[in-house]
Amino acid sequence: MRLRHTAIAALTVALSLHAQAADKPAASKAEKLPMDAPLVTDGPIVVDKADFEGSLLNIPEAYRTEVRMSPDHISTLVDGIFVTRVLANKAREAGLDKDPAVQKRLQQVQESFLAELYRVKLEKDIRFGNLEQRARELYEADRASYVAPEEVYIQQILVAEKGRTPEMARARAQEAYEAAKSGKEEFLSYALTYSDEVPPRGGIRGDIGWGNPKQFVPSVAEAVGKLKKGEITPPVESPYGYHVIKLVDRKPAHQLSFDEVKDRIIAQEKAKIVKTKLEAVLAQVRSSPTATVHKDNVDALAIPVDIEKVKRAQEAPAK
C-alpha cells in the first residue's frame, strides 16, 4: 500500500486540531463501536472491528492514522481480512491444518508476531535521558566527521550515441559546446536543442542542480573540478556519451555546527542504546543455563553431500 505521505500528513494534523477543538466528534463514532461489531459476514465467517484493529498492527504506527482517514484504505484492509479468512477456512475444511509441520508453522507465525511486539515494548521502555551533552562530547571529539562535502550546481548538454557513430556524437557535442560558449543564448536553451538527456518529471532539460561531484562519473568529476564559476567544458567523454558542462555555482566543503548535527548524533546514540539492549536480551536467552541444544539431532537434519562427487559433476562437460 503506497500512502501519500506529505498531503495526508498535513491533512492529519489539520483534522487532529479540528477534532481536539470539537471534543473529538469525528473519532467518537469509531471509538464507541464495540470490538465485536461485524464488518463483513458470510454465514459462519465474520470479520469484526477487532479484526480491523489487529490488521492495523501490521502497519507502521506512524501511518495508522492515515489509514483510518481513508475509506479506501479501510475497505482494502477489511476486504483482505475477509478473503484471507474464507480461504483459511477452506484450507481447514481440506484438512491442510492437520499437517504437524503446518501446525508448527502457524505457531511460529504467532510467536514471530509476539516477539516483534515484545521488541517494540523493550524499545519503548528504554529511558534515554538527556543525550545532548553526550552528543556534544562526540561532536567535539571528532569534528572532522561532521563536515558538509563540496557541492556544485551544474547544467549540462549530454549527447549520446543513440544511433550515431562516436565521431558523429562527438561532432554534435563540439557543435553544442561552440554554440554555448558563444553566450548568445542561455546555456539551457542550447540544452533544449542538443541534449539527449530526458529531464525528471517537472524538471528542466539540462538543469542538473546541486550535487556532490564525487558522485559523478570520474571523467565528469575531474572536468568539473577544474571549472570556475560560469565556465563551460569542452566535450567530456563518459560511458553515457559526451557531456558539455557549465558550472553555475560551487559550495566548498565546510564544518557543520553542533546545532546542525545534534539531532543526527542523538538519533545515532539512541540506536546504539537500543541495539545494546536488544543484544543483551538475546544473549541472555541464548545463554540460559537450562537450555540444551541437541546437536546430534540438529546435525541429522542435514542431507549428506559428497562434495567431491558434486565437484566432478560440475566440472564434467555438459552433454
Q: Read off the CATH number of the domain in which 238 is found.
A: 3.10.50.40
Pair (93, 140) in one structural domain: no
**CA 96/CA 100 separation, integer angstroms:** 10
- Which residues, in sequence order, are CB contacts of 28 under 8 Å at separation 6+? none
Pair (10, 90) in one structural domain: yes
Query: pLDDT tens for residues 223-243?
Result: 999 999 999 999 999 999 999
**CA 180/CA 157 separation, integer angstroms:** 9
Q: Is residue 175 part of a domain?
A: yes
Pair (138, 273) in one structural domain: yes
Pair (41, 134) in one structural domain: no
**CA 153/CA 250 separation, integer angstroms:** 6
Give the residue from 188, 184, 193 showing the smallest Cα distance to 207.
188
**CA 146/CA 260 separation, integer angstroms:** 9
Q: Is residue 291 part of a domain?
A: no
pLDDT band for position 289 (50/70/90)? Answer: very high
**CA 53/CA 219 separation, integer angstroms:** 55
Q: Is residue 193 part of a domain?
A: yes
Pair (16, 85) in one structural domain: yes
Q: Is residue 249 part of a domain?
A: yes
Pair (193, 205) in one structural domain: yes
pLDDT over threshold 70, residue 4: no
Stronger pLDDT, 97 or 317, i.e. the higher one: 97
Q: Is residue 288 part of a domain?
A: no
Least confident window among 27-41, 80-94, 182-196: 27-41
Least confident window among 60-69, 117-126, 278-287, 310-319: 310-319
Q: What is the pLDDT of residue 26?
A: 52
Pair (221, 163) in one structural domain: yes
Q: What is the pLDDT of residue 75?
A: 96
Average pLDDT over residues 172-199: 95
Instruction: Give the range of the structural domain holding residue 179, as residue numbers without chain letter.
Output: 149-255
Pair (66, 133) in one structural domain: no
Average pLDDT over residues 307-319: 79
Count other C-beta atoms under 10 Å from residue 103's C-beta: 11
Q: Is residue 312 part of a domain?
A: no
Pair (275, 198) in one structural domain: no
Stronger pLDDT, 3 or 213, i.e. the higher one: 213
Residue linked to cell 537450562: 290
Q: Is residue 303 part of a domain?
A: no
| Contact indicator for 158, 196 with CB cutoff of 8 Å | yes
Residue linked to cell 571549472: 227
Q: Please, what is the angle between helix 25-32 and helix 5-21, to 10°?
A: 90
| Contact indicator for 52, 85 with CB cutoff of 8 Å | no
Average pLDDT over residues 281-308: 94
Note the helical H segments in the chain: 5-21, 25-32, 49-56, 61-68, 71-93, 100-125, 132-141, 166-182, 187-194, 218-225, 258-286, 295-300, 307-315
Pair (237, 200) in one structural domain: yes
Pair (205, 73) in one structural domain: no
Query: pLDDT tens for residues 44-76?
Result: 999 999 999 999 999 998 999 999 999 999 999
Q: Is residue 309 part of a domain?
A: no
Q: How many domains would you assign to the chain?
A: 3
Pair (235, 163) in one structural domain: yes
